[in-house]
A = this chain, B = another copy of it.
Amino acid sequence: MTHPPLGDMLATLRGTTPLVHCITNYVAMNSTANLLLATGASPAMLHAPEEVAEFTAIAGALSINIGTISTPWAESMQLAARTANATGTPWVLDPVAVGATAFRQQVCTALLAYRPSVIRANASEVMALAGLASQGRGVDATASTDEAQQAAIDLARQQRCIVAMTGETDFVTDGTLHYRLTGGHPLMPRVTTLGCGVSALVAAFVAANQAHPLPATLAALACFSIAGSRAGEQASGPGSFQVALLDALYALTPNDLSSLSQLEALDAV
């Protein structure tokens, strides 16, 4: 690997507690804030058009998630994304269920114009964004990760951004370098909005490590993967899993990430 150790990314995050401006869906707000706090970042949720640009300008990163989108919120998201683009603030797009309705496709098309630093999505969403045929059925992934890797690479090249495609196996690409990450736990899809949370965590890591967006993204996913595995060992169901996940993120050390064995750099796909 040509990048700095992933553990350094976490150490920098812990040392700087980056302020992450989250404009996310109603379902995910509380859990996303708690995931950021447990890991060591500082979340702020606000969306009013009167203040959203002012706040994005002082945040370390912006995280936009379209889960419970409406026209007023879409307008605020555009204001925030435009500001991030203008000020060079890194920002992450989570295009929830973009394939499910025409409205979501319009909202995402408008947001992509402001050039997200990272797109964090599941396989169906990546395929929908890349313009490929996808049988999206809402918020769940139905395309396999393997089928979607080429779509992720195409999307990264089209948008000149990082694509972090998560699922049973995660696939991360900037269009040139590709990584595969395994881990996590089968209980993760049984807890709501963990994907939304990891998008915000990517924003936090990129905020804290602006010179290294690709390893920062990998570090965010690796945190979730390792903490998820550990939480799964302790949990007896999705309720106790959620609790254990927050505790595990809090307990993670930079060394846990640097000794990670489930990360694989791919030569070609």
Give residues in A with beta carbon < 8 Å to B.
19, 25-31, 33-34, 37-38, 42-51, 54-55, 58-59, 67-72, 97, 100-104, 137-140, 189-193, 235-240, 242-251
Contact = CB atoms under 8 A, between A and B. Distances in A.
A190 B17 CA distance: 12
Contacts of A139: 42-44
A71 B245 CA distance: 36
Contacts of A238: 34, 37-38, 246-247, 250
21 contacts: A19-B138, A25-B45, A26-B45, A28-B30, A34-B238, A37-B189, A37-B190, A37-B192, A38-B190, A42-B139, A43-B139, A46-B97, A47-B70, A48-B70, A48-B71, A50-B102, A59-B138, A236-B251, A238-B247, A239-B243, A242-B243
Contact of A239 (B38, B67, B70): B38
Given A27-B45, A42-B140, A48-B70, 19 more contacts: A19-B138, A27-B30, A38-B190, A45-B67, A47-B68, A48-B103, A50-B102, A54-B103, A55-B138, A58-B137, A235-B247, A237-B246, A238-B246, A238-B250, A239-B250, A240-B244, A240-B246, A240-B247, A242-B246
Contacts of A69: 46, 48
Contact of A51 (B101, B244, B245, B250): B101
A189 B33 CA distance: 11
Contacts of A55: 100-101, 138
Nearest to A44: B138
A102 B245 CA distance: 37
